[in-house]
Structure 1
Amino acid sequence: MTATRALVALGSNLGDRAGHLLGAVAALARRPEVRLAGLSRIYETVPVGPAGQGPYLNAVLAVETGLGPLELLEVLLAIERAHGRVRRERWGPRTLDLDLLDFGGRVLERPGLSLPHPRLHERAFVLVPLAEVAPDWRHPLLGATATELLAKLDRSGVQPWEPAY
């Protein structure tokens, strides 16, 4: 199996937010064609989208996979559904959101999948954990690293998350 490195953003703002994120990581770890290669810390972030939403928990996961990008996307969508994800409104609240950010540096435009993720360079809630797990990752279209892209953004709405015991 030739493995490709992929980067996946994880987010949740409904229900057991941390449980949804960690459940998604565990589900991917159980896949024989996926190997976990790195996981950022979990961050609590200000929501983007319709007003009245609760804060998100976000993280980024690096994996090595023998799947193709569309196959990996199908796995991610199945994990979302298993966690009760229902797509109602764009940027609305969700139990689990798994976005394929990058797949081996490929540039790809297909229905339902754009690589690299089209807005990742504009979002501190993606770039803070991405720069932690893959600081030297280079945006295939912009040429800048995750760290360089993050330096251009306000990251005040992204804070390390501490569980309440």
Structure 2
Amino acid sequence: MERIYIGMGSNLAAPDQQLRSAIEALGLLPGTTVAGVSAFYQSDSLLPGQPRYTNAVAALDSSLAPLDLLDALQAIENEQGRQRLERWGPRTLDLDILLFGERLIDEPRLKVPHYQMHLRAFVLYPLAELAPATLQLPDGQRLSDLLTTCPFVGLERLTQSS
């Protein structure tokens, strides 16, 4: 079993419910337990003119292989109506593998740690709720250092997830 952190986001079709449904689906994956879920946060879209996103991070303990987990996450997204029309378009659900144990993964379909997580307050602050304060990413960066360079701007902490 490895500790895996999943970034979750939605800005269409009742985003809070989309995240709650995703959390339930994550708990049904084989060899996987949901170990924790951050509070929900609202953030502005990366592109103007889109609805605000609701974001959270889930901690999983799983025996799934990285690409098997990626396939399962994409199946959950599809089941919840995800349409991949444009890279940064609005979406019912986005599930990203942020960290996979202590692994560095560089596959054509999967890069871990997530390649832009260090720039995204809507990822780092929910992650910090779940991860140990001393968390060091596999590439050597410390979560505490990333938080100091990525201010809590444009975020609104909503509620606990459950």
Q: Distance in 2 between matches of 1:14 and 1:57?
A: 9
Moved more, 73-82 or 102-111: 102-111
TM-score (norm 1): 0.92
Q: Distance in 2 between matches of 1:21 and 1:35?
A: 16
**Which consecutive aligned stretches of 4+ in structure 1 deviate over 6 angstroms post-superposition?**
none
Structure 2: gaps (5+ residues): none
CA drift at 1:31:
2.2
CA drift at 1:105:
1.6
Q: Distance in 2 between matches of 1:132 and 1:93?
A: 26
Partner of residue 13, structure 1: 11
Aligned residue identity for 1:100: I
Partner of residue 53, structure 2: 56
Alignment RMSD, CA only? 1.4
Tell me the matched-pair count.
159
Partner of residue 69, structure 2: 72
Percent identity of paired positions between Structure 1 and Structure 2: 42
Partner of residue 138, structure 2: 140
Q: Secondary structure at the match of 1:8?
A: strand
Q: Distance in 2 between matches of 1:143 and 1:52?
A: 33
Aligned residue identity for 1:115: V
Aligned residue identity for 1:98: L
Write the mapping of 1:1-165 to structure 2, written as runs, cut at 5 A.
Answer: 3-49=1-47, 51-134=48-131, 135-144=133-142, 146-161=143-158
TM-score (norm 2): 0.93
CA drift at 1:162:
5.0
Q: 1:142 to 1:122 in 2, by over 3 A?
A: farther
* Cα-to-partner distance string for 1:111-146 (whole Å, 9 max, x where unaligned): 2210110010111010010011114321211431x2
Aligned residue identity for 2:29: R
